[in-house]
Amino acid sequence: MTRTVLVTGGAGYVGSHCCKAFAEAGWKVVVYDNLSRGWREFVRWGELEQGDLLDSEALDRAFAKHKPDAVAHFAALAYVGESVEKPGMYYENNTLGTVRLLDAMAKAGCDKIIFSSTCATYGVPEKMPMTEDMSQNPINPYGMSKLFVEKVLDDYEVAHGIRSVKLRYFNAAGASPDGEVGERHEPETHLIPLCIEGVLNDTFKLTVFGDDFDTRDGTCVRDYIHVMDLADAHLKALDYLFDGGTSEAFNLGTGTGTTVMEIVHAVERVTGKPVPRSIGPRRAGDPPALVASADKAESILGWKPVQSDVDSVIETAYNWHLKEVERKKAAVS
């Protein structure tokens, strides 16, 4: 029997790659997305129900129509800087929006959810690599809006029997290797796409945010995880819940940290072109290092990243951005 998964935010970056993986694994996919930050052309693996998380009636209609067996919840605002300037927008969309979604699930009797959480829920880590039992003290409203959801999920399990898997992503990166979908943010703020922009666009220069951190080359260390490895973790998390697994949180990272300058050099190596750059001040709220321990996801979900070596991440991202350049050219001609 084919199972249906309702994917909120399925028109976004991680959501669309997961839709592809779900569909390829035999799931019927329904995307629920307001297209405020997502892209209609990224909805390629299931029907689109255009709606907002805050619109309870639209949610109820989608649940009544599609009777999903589970929800994968990606829809969220995800710019740290914006969350500092507009915290209300983040708590409303990310936290209250999830409350509305959970109410619709409870009403419809849908009792399994995979939630896109983040390493930003930890704040400045007390140890490295980071394990799931560490204290969570977010240092910006984005991380706090996601941490609240983690707590709300536990309350909805007690009240309504909804089991959840919280997946705390580290730095999602890369694109589908077949070029069917990739990363598109407007504005783009992430390191790897910006390095590639530097390679492709003569007028763009990367600013490295700080080179005086206490790290091996002075620049920030992050744990870059290929978006297709993330998608595989979601599939395994769905299977885990259908096998009766209890609610859990898992870090999704590789366990290996890479500095900003190591990424810059890797982009130069993979593309064979220089990344123009200058050193700027630190960005507010950037911890020096964030590296996951992914042991729990491996031991309980049987998940291990298989395509997250830095060169594979960059190669797939670069090929996608080359296609994006062609698309933009075609759009203006």
Which residues carry out catalysis? Answer: 142
- The CA–CA distances, whole Å, from 242 to 3, 4, 133, 169, 322 equal 11, 12, 24, 22, 39
Q: Which residues pair with 4 in a beta bridge?
A: 28
User: Which listed residue (59, 206, 233, 289) binds ligand UDP by CB under 6 A?
Assistant: 206
78 is a site residue for ligand UDP (CB under 6 A): no
Give min distance, CB of 191 to ligand UDP, in A.
4
Instruction: Give counts: helices (H), strands (E), the chain.
Output: 11, 13
**What angle, 0 to 180 degrees and rounded to 10, lies between the N-to-C axes of helices 227-242 and 13-24?**
60
Give the range of 44-52, 57-65, 122-130, 205-213 binding ligand UDP by CB under 6 A. 205-213
Binding mask 213-252 for ligand UDP (x = CB under 6 A): -------x-x------------------------------
Contact pick of 85, 159, 178, 207 for ligand UDP (by CB under 6 A): 207
Closest contact distance (angstroms) between CB of 77 and ligand UDP is 14
147-176 residues near ligand UDP, rule: CB under 6 A: 171
Answer yes or no whether residue 260 interacts with ligand UDP by CB under 6 A.
yes
Candidate residues 18, 108, 208, 267; the one interacting with ligand UDP per rule CB under 6 A: 208
Interface residue with ligand UDP among 151, 185, 269, 283 (CB under 6 A) is: 283
- Report the residue from 3, 44, 190, 304 that binds ligand UDP according to the rule CB under 6 A: 190
**Helical residues (DSSP H) of the chain, grouped into ranges:** 13-24, 56-66, 80-85, 87-90, 97-108, 141-160, 191-200, 227-242, 260-271, 295-296, 310-332
Q: Which tokens hold the place of 231?
A: 């998608």
Report if residue 140 touches ligand UDP, rule: CB under 6 A.
no
User: Can you say how many angstroms the Cα of residue 273 is from the centroid of all Cα atoms in its chain?
Assistant: 28
- In the complex with ligand UDP, which residue's Cβ is closer, 84 or 106? 84
Binding to ligand UDP by residue 275, rule CB under 6 A? Answer: no
Evaluated on CA atoms 8, 9, 13, 16, the torsion sign reads positive
Stretch that binds ligand UDP, among 51-59, 177-185, 190-198, 296-304 (CB under 6 A): 190-198
Beta carbon of residue 56, minimum distance to ligand UDP (angstroms, whole number): 31
286 lines the binding site for ligand UDP (CB under 6 A): yes
Strands 258-259 and 221-222: antiparallel
Contact call for residues 59 and 96 (beta carbons, < 8 A): no
**62 or 206, CB closer to ligand UDP?**
206
Amino acid present at 15: G
Measured on CA atoms in the order 278, 279, 285, 286, is the torsion positive or negative?
positive
Interface residues with ligand UDP (CB under 6 A) are 171, 189-191, 194, 206-209, 220, 222, 260, 283, 286
